[in-house]
Structure 1
Amino acid sequence: MATRQQPAATAAGRRRKSKRAGAEGIAHVRATFNNTTITITEKNGAVISWGSAGQSGFKGSRKGTPFAAQVAAERAARAAIDMGMRSVTVLIKGPGAGRESAVRALGAAGFQVMAIKDVTPI
């Protein structure tokens, strides 16, 4: 009886996607007082890359700083640009200190920022 080989999996047990992203996408910036997360998706919502201040090596109260948000945005943007994305619409949510610096970092990383919308619930 022949055994079937399983596809290569990452440490988490899921298959790693190596597809090309579309040229346009959405950058979701969630800035809280304690952390800033950036998720870059395609127009249909499929996640291309993400980054957070905690993932970038910051701990404790330093995660809530504008510099930590900048580093997290650069990491997420670099991964998305490598997959072929060129322009983003930025959706900002939350009152944190990293709001503006994350948007500036996305532009500086090479994205063409098409629009910036504040979607913070009131």
Structure 2
Amino acid sequence: MAKTRKQKKGKIDPVGQVHITSSFNNIIITITDGAGNVHAWASAGKMGFRGSKKNTPYAAQV
């Protein structure tokens, strides 16, 4: 049986930027650190919205 190792969690800088890209078909939200490295992202399509529902205010809030 192989040994499992715990992953070390790196320190995350508390200062960052949120980029919101809204097009006619989708909304994409990206969270980056000060250097521009992406830490998290989400889109309406990733959350399960399909078709014209992806570009609604409700999809942006979820």
State the TM bucket, normalised to the shorter chain: 0.7 to 0.9
Give the C-alpha shift of residue 18 in structure 1: 4.1
Give the C-alpha shift of residue 19 in structure 1: 2.2
Give 2:28's aligned amino acid.
T
| TM-score of the pair, normalised by structure 2 | 0.81
**Deviation by residue 1:37-91 (Cα, 9 ceiling, x = unmatched):** 00000010011100000001100100010110111xxxxxxxxxxxxxxxxxxxx
Unaligned 5+ segments in structure 2 are: 1-7
Q: Distance in 1 between matches of 2:31 and 2:39?
A: 6
User: Which residue number in structure 1 is paired with residue 5 of structure 2?
Assistant: none
Aligned positions of 1:52-71 closer than 5 A: 52-71=43-62
Root-mean-square deviation (Å): 1.9
For residue 32 of structure 2, the aligned residue among 41, 47, 55 is: 41
User: Which residue number in structure 2 is paired with residue 23 of structure 1?
Assistant: 14
Q: Distance in 2 between matches of 1:21 and 1:69?
A: 25
Aligned pair count reads: 57
Q: Structure 1 residue runs of 4+, over 4 Å off? A: none
| TM-score of the pair, normalised by structure 1 | 0.43
Unaligned 5+ segments in structure 1 are: 1-16, 72-122
Matched position secondary structure for 1:69: helix
User: Which residue number in structure 2 is paired with residue 51 of structure 1?
Assistant: 42
